Structure 1
Amino acid sequence: MYFSGHTQKVSQRPYESHLTPQVPRSNYFHIQEEKQRLQLKKFLLHRIFLVANITARIEKKDLAQYYEHAFQSILKHHLGEAVTGLLLMYPTSILHILETSSGTLYRILLDYVGHEKNEKEFFIQGMKIIVVSHNIPTRIFIQWQVSIVKVPVMYLDDLTQSRSLEEVVTEFLTQTHKLALYLCKTVKVSTKGPGDNLHQVVPELLPPEQIIKYLCKSEEFMDPEAFLDMYNKPIHVTLDSEVVWPAPSVF
Structure 2
Amino acid sequence: MTYMAHNQKSSKKHFQVDPLLMPKVPRTNYMHLQEEKNRLQLKKFLLHRMFLVGHIKANIEKKEISEYYEQLFQSILKHHLGEAVTGLLLIYSSTFLHILETSNGTLFRILLDYVAREKEEKEFMIQNVKIIVASHNIPTRLFMQWHVSAIKVPVLYLEDVTQSQSLAEVTTDFLTMTHKLGLHLFKTVKVGAKGPGDNLHQVAPELLLPEQTIQYLCKSEEFMDPATFLNMYNRPIHVTLDSEIVWPAPSRF
TM-score, normalization: structure 1?
A: 0.81
1:115 paired residue number: 117
- The change in CA–CA distance for 1:153 and 1:223 in structure 2 (over 3 A counts) is farther
Q: Give the C-alpha shift of residue 40 in structure 1.
A: 3.5
1:250 paired residue number: 251
Counterpart residue identity of residue 103, structure 1: G
Aligned-residue sequence identity (percent) comes to 71
Which of 129, 139, 142 aligns to 1:140? It is 142
Counterpart residue identity of residue 48, structure 2: H
- The change in CA–CA distance for 1:223 and 1:35 in structure 2 (over 3 A counts) is closer
- The change in CA–CA distance for 1:90 and 1:189 in structure 2 (over 3 A counts) is same
1:127 paired residue number: 129
Structure 1: gaps of 5 or more residues: 1-33
Q: Give the C-alpha shift of residue 158 in structure 1.
A: 1.9
Rounded Cα–Cα distance in structure 2 between residues aligned with 1:225 and 1:95: 18
Per-residue deviation, residues 112-156 of structure 1 (Å, max 9, x unmatched): 111111101111000000000001011010010101111146976
Which of 195, 201, 209 aligns to 2:211? It is 209
Counterpart residue identity of residue 218, structure 2: C
Rounded Cα–Cα distance in structure 1 between residues aligned with 2:76 and 2:55: 24
Report the 3-state secondary structure (helix = DSSP H, G, I; strand = E; otherwise coil) of the residue aligned with 2:232. helix
Q: Give the C-alpha shift of residue 41 in structure 1.
A: 1.2
Structure 2: gaps of 5 or more residues: 1-35
2:196 paired residue number: 194
- The change in CA–CA distance for 1:247 and 1:152 in structure 2 (over 3 A counts) is farther
Structure with higher Rg: it is: 1
TM-score, normalization: structure 2?
A: 0.81
2:11 paired residue number: none
2:55 paired residue number: 53
2:233 paired residue number: 231
1:16 paired residue number: none
- The change in CA–CA distance for 1:202 and 1:155 in structure 2 (over 3 A counts) is closer
Rounded Cα–Cα distance in structure 2 between residues aligned with 1:198 and 1:85: 15
The alignment status of 1:80 with 2:82, answered yes or no, reads yes
Instruction: Give the aligned CA root-mean-square deviation in angstroms.
Output: 2.1
Rounded Cα–Cα distance in structure 1 between residues aligned with 2:157 and 2:84: 37
Report the 3-state secondary structure (helix = DSSP H, G, I; strand = E; otherwise coil) of the residue aligned with 1:87. strand
2:153 paired residue number: 151
- The change in CA–CA distance for 1:189 and 1:155 in structure 2 (over 3 A counts) is closer
Number of residue pairs matched by the alignment: 218
Rounded Cα–Cα distance in structure 1 between residues aligned with 2:197 and 2:158: 27
- The change in CA–CA distance for 1:207 and 1:36 in structure 2 (over 3 A counts) is same
Report the 3-state secondary structure (helix = DSSP H, G, I; strand = E; otherwise coil) of the residue aligned with 1:182. helix
Q: Give the C-alpha shift of residue 239 in structure 1.
A: 4.6
